[in-house]
Structure 1
Amino acid sequence: MNAPHSHDWQPAIRPRPMPAAMREQLQQRFGSRLSTAQAVRDQHGRDESPYDTAAPEAVLFCESNEDVAAAVAIAHEHAVPVIPFGVGSSLEGHLLAVQGGLSLDLSRMNRILSLNPEDLTVTVQAGVTRMQLNNEIRHSGLFFPIDPGADATLGGMSATRASGTNAVRYGTMRENVLALTVVTASGELVHTGTRARKSSAGYDLTRLFVGSEGTLGVMTEITLKLYPLPEAVLAAICHFPSIAAAVDTTIGLIQMGVPIARCELIDARTVGMVNRHNKLDLREQDMLLMEFHGSPASVREQAETVQALAAENGGESFEWAETPEERTRLWTARHHAYFAAVQSRPGCRAISTDTCVPISRLAECIVDTVADVDACGLPYFLVGHVGDGNFHIGFLIDPDSPDEGRIAEQVNRTLVARALQMAGTCTGEHGIGLHKMGFLLDEAGPGAVALMRQIKHALDPKNIMNPGKIFAW
């Protein structure tokens, strides 16, 4: 097994200074919405990755498409980097201003522009968060299902091609973004896609920008698919004698075509962390947390099928959650697993892995990875969107210990090599950012990465759009 390309523990910082003339232009155009305060800059140069802060030279709080276009045009004139910012929840260093520049905070662009319930679509500004969207459209009987855990902005979720707990049934952002408004590197506003469910018109520019991590343009408006709220929702937890038994159950239900909405793996040690953090009394054993959507009859049928399959693999102690309050309690605990783990080792930083493999290889991949992680001696947590083959190991490292960081990265490299050998990917949902640049080369190959680089050069010849991410210039 060949180890993938390594990368430095901390990214190289190579600032491209902002000329005084550019700062003056921005101040004249935007006034007090341009901030150079150190605290504001530091906030916009930090995400949930293990990297140190790399702050931009200035932060601009945008309120319209025209704001973004004007700011990018000024940055283009002076060849200064631009980094889009939502809420700062990304995990791979996407927001770090490794070449300095201007952070464009889109959080004030938080309006729902048009809701079309008869077409099951909605158009939003990029700063709308997923929870805000669902709260504001609940009256329509529709919802947006993509749920990465964090209350991320829909612009950020589109930029990283996010997915999360519901992806096994509803897909990822790739399948659910219909159209975009984008500001290009020269400051031009362009529109991609339509509200129609399909199109064969020209290059698929929408898919090009979705997942581009801010390196090709700034997404300012997004048109999304919506779905009817299910008539019945049933959540369940089931305990297993081993991780392999839980994953084998998952593989079976996917191969049988059970239309499960969510299927999450939480290992025994992580259940313990969640119990202490959320004051729960869940049985501290490897566990699947599942959810079924549909009519009352279909939900019961799905649940009975899964319960029988789980029993064949030693699953026991099924617990059902039928009321919204009970379901919210369980899923809040799942979404807080990251924070529960971090608080279990005060002062630590989390380095999270993000591999995804074909469902038939999932049990082997997880079991072999857990053996490696146990052998390395670092504290960790394990959660997985196992219904679509995606799982995460989170190493809880001492930020003052270079040795712990290096050990975590070495185990991660071994995991990525294993996933690629199984025809999987180095990232199921977090994106490349800074952290996985070497892994992208191993996964895609030099020819494909060279083609990506050609696209970047063509659309952003001055390399101002979130430079230093995905691949080197």
Structure 2
Amino acid sequence: MTRFVDLKSALPDMDVLEAPADTARFVAGVRGETGKALAVLRPRTTSQLLTAIQALKILDIFYMPQGANTGLVGASIPDETGTQVVISFDRMKEVFDVDIENRSLRISAGFHLSEVNERLSEHGLHFPIDLGSDPQIGGMIATNTGGGRFLRYGDVRRHVLGLDIVTDVGELAQLGGPVRKANIGTDWKQLAIGSGADFGIITQAVLNLEPITRQQSAALVVPPNDAAIFPLLQALEQMAGPMLSAFEFMSQNAMNAAFDHVPSLRNPFAGGTVPQIALLIELTRPNQPVPWETDLDDVLQQMLMTMWENGDVAIEDALFGRPDDMWALRHALSEGVRTAGKLYAFDLGFRRPDVLAFRQAIQNELPDFAPGVTICDFGHVGDGGLHFNLVGSNETHSDQFEQVLRDWVVEQAVERFGASFSAEHGIGPKNIRYFEKYSPKRPF
């Protein structure tokens, strides 16, 4: 109680929450993580944040920055001691300055991705990171988020021009800015992107923006087997070039979980029979349609037909329709597998060809290692990312079993296939043991 009184006295102008009913949403994670906070601070401005960090340092109180709290590795949840302070960014929205001519945006860290793109739409621009969740900009930068259109636009790092960071000693560091070409020494902001809060707390950023997609076409393509997937990807990259914006993999088990647990979702497959594998393929153009262009739906259909007729690829079926409907299936997979049973989720990054080799190895060995556990995976095969989800029984779950299972899966991925144990979700409590074990050995 004394520490809270000291903190409140040091921050008289700050919104400070203490009551359990007020702090509840800040101490619970998406995957069931729970903790306890001494207090939750909700600064509105960089100046308030600076004051808060300085006060916390004087009082020797550990703090944890928290964005939208959509992370999946528990990195924004305090521990159970009740001695830590959460610094929430839900009110950090003092700056939103669009530079149309420069195609850039200076923005406070607390804006949600959906808010950003809604505001930018009137200018014909967007921040081109596509996610199933709705994180805040600061959290996206801190974890270097990728997403479903990584194949076309890359990760967040590619679109960060500048950062304002409050260091742990309560000083403001400004790294980079709206000038894209400035080869004047070490680009220090690159160290901060994807590092969590190791180098300080991101309070503002300057982002590169891209023109909104004006033309879009998508298909659900059913290959006959795993071996047909990469020839199809390579052929599309050759024929479609930069128009290819997404190449997403969905397993039968993951799709069935989505159809079973998301009532609003429509099953587009013939007779309702879900295939072993489906690929969501998307082409996009940023320009408005012009008379001399072939309609993008026709382009995608012609490409797939030509590749099939030439024998370049093997395709069992291809379904065309509204892109939003197809992305609805892709985005529903997370909710589906989360409610299908006890979820053991992994976010793995591979060399592109190794994604399917890893899947096959685990499919062969999992029944003996963990009977009753089912693979419900999906991911960004086009960039080597795989959301490798295992679903077991709530009744047979134990913490010891989960740890053994997690250790085994990560060991197979990292030691046998040279994978990253975290493709885009960061470290956090769920990955810290693998960071300590494997990071010194990584060649990257």
What's the TM-score bracket when you normalise by the shorter of the two chains? 0.7 to 0.9
Amino acid at match of 1:363: L
The correspondence for 1:305, drawn from 292, 303, 306, is 303
State the TM-score, normalizing by the size of structure 2: 0.86
Q: How far did 1:313 drift?
A: 4.5
CA 1:308 to 1:82, structure 2 compared with 1: closer, same or farther past 3 Å?
farther
Match of 2:290 in 1: none
- d(CA) in 1 for partners of 2:158 and 2:411? 25
Is 2:66 the partner of 1:85? yes
Match of 1:339 in 2: 335
- String of CA shifts for 1:175-225, please: whole Å, max 9, x gaps: 111111111101112211111113223332211111111233111111111
- String of CA shifts for 1:208-264, please: whole Å, max 9, x gaps: 111111233111111111111233211111112334433553355457774310111
Contact 2:126 2:211 in 1 (8 A): yes
CA 1:448 to 1:251, structure 2 compared with 1: closer, same or farther past 3 Å?
closer
- d(CA) in 2 for partners of 1:421 and 1:145? 34
Is 2:428 the partner of 1:437? no
Runs (4+) of structure 1 exceeding 4 A deviation are 254-257, 298-303, 306-313, 397-402, 446-449
- String of CA shifts for 1:135-154, please: whole Å, max 9, x gaps: 11111111111123201111
Secondary structure at the aligned position of 1:436 is classed as helix
Of residues 271-280 and 165-174 in structure 1, the stretch that sits farther from structure 2 once superposed is 271-280
Match of 1:177 in 2: 160
Is 2:284 the partner of 1:293? yes
Is 2:30 the partner of 1:44? no
- d(CA) in 1 for partners of 2:265 and 2:221? 19
State the TM-score, normalizing by the size of structure 1: 0.81
Q: How far did 1:419 drift?
A: 3.9
Match of 2:197 in 1: 214
Contact 2:217 2:300 in 1 (8 A): no
The count of aligned residue pairs is 423
Q: How far did 1:328 drift?
A: 1.9
The correspondence for 1:192, drawn from 175, 182, 185, is 175
Q: Percent identity among equivalent residues?
A: 21
Contact 1:397 1:404 in 2 (8 A): no
Secondary structure at the aligned position of 2:337 is classed as helix
Gap regions ≥5 residues in structure 1: 1-16, 450-473
Secondary structure at the aligned position of 1:28 is classed as coil
Q: How far did 1:58 drift?
A: 0.4
- d(CA) in 2 for partners of 1:428 and 1:271? 22
Structure number with greater CO (CA < 8 Å, separation at least 6) is 1
- String of CA shifts for 1:332-391, please: whole Å, max 9, x gaps: 22112111222233xx4x331111111132321222233344552214421111110100
- d(CA) in 1 for partners of 2:9 and 2:395? 41
Amino acid at match of 2:152: R
Amino acid at match of 1:120: R
Amino acid at match of 1:359: R
- d(CA) in 1 for partners of 2:408 and 2:304? 34
Match of 1:271 in 2: 255
CA 1:262 to 1:380, structure 2 compared with 1: closer, same or farther past 3 Å?
same
Contact 1:162 1:172 in 2 (8 A): yes
- d(CA) in 1 for partners of 2:18 and 2:89? 17
Gap regions ≥5 residues in structure 2: 288-292
- String of CA shifts for 1:83-130, please: whole Å, max 9, x gaps: 111111101110121363211111112355211122111111111111
Amino acid at match of 1:280: R
The correspondence for 1:74, drawn from 55, 58, 64, is 55
Secondary structure at the aligned position of 1:336 is classed as helix
Structural mapping, 1:112-151, within 5 Å:
113-151=96-134
- d(CA) in 1 for partners of 2:382 and 2:424? 14
- String of CA shifts for 1:423-471, please: whole Å, max 9, x gaps: 331111111112222322444316999xxxxxxxxxxxxxxxxxxxxxx
- d(CA) in 1 for partners of 2:240 and 2:437? 32
Amino acid at match of 1:19: R
- d(CA) in 1 for partners of 2:257 and 2:313? 25
CA 1:201 to 1:55, structure 2 compared with 1: closer, same or farther past 3 Å?
farther
Secondary structure at the aligned position of 2:376 is classed as strand
- d(CA) in 1 for partners of 2:330 and 2:423? 18
